[in-house]
Amino acid sequence: MVEDILSDKNLTNIIKNYLGKDAKLDTISLDTTKLNSHSNSISEQWHYDNVGNRIKMFFFLNSTKLINTEFIEGTNRIKHKKFNTLETRISEEEINRIYKKKIFCPSRSKAIIFDTNAYHRGNYAKKNFEYNLGKIEYRRILKFEFSNKKISDKFFGKTDIIGPRFTFFSSNFNFKKCPIIDKHYLTKIDNIYFYDQGCFKNFN
């Protein structure tokens, strides 16, 4: 599935047209988020990620209407000057006063692509009685992140939330079909390839 997604030419064109010709894959992760009002996540607050323009793609592995992602169109073009966790947050009151929200609910085998420089947040809080009856809802996604190499290189060593990192591929993965992967950051370890900027050697 991952190889099919990353080898899709339309996806590669979208990412490179938006981020530039030096755009590349940063990381892939499998994330499961349960509906739980007792476990507040920092990503539930309105925020922009403190790394400038960077693309995230959520490929949904299940459908649910109880967990969603909210996004403010047009705010990806804001030139932010503050890049720490506290100052990248914005209040619900300010959002409601200035902006209009778009809501994306998970739909199995569908995906959303967005710039994390825009204001966004996840909604994971309890929303109906089914949770109390024992039906625990969840969202399961394959999360892909992409950035421009020149930008992520500036952050290398300063933060671990941008740049090639923490991703593994099987030895039979066809990297030639996936030009969005920067092969310089692949390191073969036994029968797998480790994709990480902090531990790499040239891939032949």
Q: Is residue 200 part of a domain?
A: no
Strands 101-104 and 55-60: unpaired
**How many C-beta neighbours within 10 Å does residue 4 have?**
9
* CATH number reported for the structural domain that contains residue 91 in this entry: 2.60.120
Does residue 203 lie in a domain region? no
Residue-wise pLDDT tens for the chain (204 aa)?
999 999 999 999 999 999 999 999 999 999 998 887 445 566 788 999 888 899 999 999 999 988 899 999 999 998 877 666 667 778 888 888 888 899 999 999 999 999 999 999 998 876 544 555 556 688 999 999 999 999 898 887 777 889 999 999 999 999 999 999 999 999 998 899 999 998 755 454
Residue 29 main-chain phi, psi, to 5 deg: -145, 155
Alpha-carbon gap, residue 122 to 109, rounded angstroms: 19
pTM to 2 decimals?
A: 0.88
Quick check: is 112 in a domain? yes
Position 186 in a domain = yes
* Element (DSSP H or E) covering residue 97: helix 92-98
Distance from C-alpha of 2 to C-alpha of 6, rounded to nearest angstrom: 6
Return the CA Rg of the chain: 18
Closest CA to 118 of 141, 86, 154, 90: 90
pLDDT at position 129, please? Answer: 45
Would 110 be classed as within a structural domain? yes
Report how many domains make up the chain. 1
What is the extent of the structural domain holding 175? 2-195
